Amino acid sequence: MVSDAIDPINCKDVFITRCRINAGDDNISIKSERVIPGRAFASEDITVTDCVFLHGHGMSIGGATVGGVRNVTVRNCIFENTENGIRIKSLRGRGATVENIRFIDLTMTNVNPAVTFTGYYMTNSAGDPVQKFAPPNDPAQPVNETTPVFRNICVSNLTSTCQKSAGIIIGLPECPISNVVLQNVNIRAAGTGLLIRNVRGVRFNNVTVVSRQGPPFILENAPVEGLKTDSD
C-alpha cells in the first residue's frame, strides 16, 4: 500500500522542518480539498525547510486544490532518488487558484523529473503502471470555479540531475500558467529537456538545461523571456 508521508490539508500557518522522509507516495503533499467558509484560501502560509526527500514522489502541491493554496515556501531541501522533485498538480474539476509559491535552494540527485507544474494531473508519477500525459490538441474549455489557476511561482537556486526528463510546465489552454520565474537553475537530464506549454509571463535568469535526447527546451504556446539554449 502506498501513502503520502506528510499531508497538510485545508490548513494554515504550518512549519515543517528538518524531516528525513521516505514514502510510498508524495513525501509532502499540500492539498486544499474543499472551500473553507470565511477563508479566501483553504491552505496558506506554509513553509517547508531543511528537509531530505528520499524514496517517494517528492514535494507536491495538489492534486486537489479546490479550496485554493497560497503563500508556500520550500527552502534548503535535498532530493535523492525521488520519482519527482517539485510538483504543482491539479486538473479540471478539482482545481482553484494556487499562487505565491517559492522554491529556493534545492539540490536534487537522480530524480525523475525535477519540475512538474501541470493542469493535467492524472496519476502521472514516473513509477505509475500507466502513464497519462496532457493531450497535444486539447481544446479550451469554459473557465469556472474549479479550473486550475497557477500563478506567481518562483524557482531559484535549483540544481538537479534527472534519470529521464528535465520536467514539464503545462497549463490549460483556457488558463495558462502565469508569472513564473526560474533563476539560477541548472538541470542535467539523461533523457528529454523541459517541456513548456500554455504559459504566460515566464522569465528565465541564468537557466541551463542539458538534455541527451532532443532540445533542452520544448516550447508550445509558450513565450519565455531570457531563454538560453546553449548546452555543454
pLDDT digits (tens, 9 = 90+) for 146-183: 999 999 999 999 999 999 999 999 999 999 999 999 99
Range of the domain at 20: 12-225
Least confident of 46-55, 135-144, 203-212: 135-144
Which of the 8 DSSP states describes residue 138?
P
Q: Is residue 198 part of a domain?
A: yes
pTM: 0.92
pLDDT of 224 above 60? yes
CB-based contact 76:44 (threshold 8 Å)? no
CB-based contact 164:190 (threshold 8 Å)? yes
For residue 3, what pLDDT band results from cuts at 50, 70 and 90?
Answer: confident
Distances (CA, A) of 223 to 101, 119, 214, 217: 21, 18, 19, 12
Cα 189 off chain centre by? 17
**What is the count of structural domains for the chain?**
1
Of residues 180, 188, 195, 190, the one with CA closest to residue 226? 180
Distances (CA, A) of 138 to 19, 61, 172: 40, 24, 8
Would you say how long the chain is, in residues? 232
Q: Is residue 230 part of a domain?
A: no
Which CATH number fits the domain that encloses residue 108? 2.160.20.10
Q: Is residue 3 part of a domain?
A: no
**Residues 116-125 pLDDT 10s:** 999 988 645 5
As a dihedral over the C-alpha atoms of residue 16, residue 21, residue 26, residue 29, rounded to 10 degrees, the angle is: 0
The residue-averaged pLDDT of 7-15 equals 95
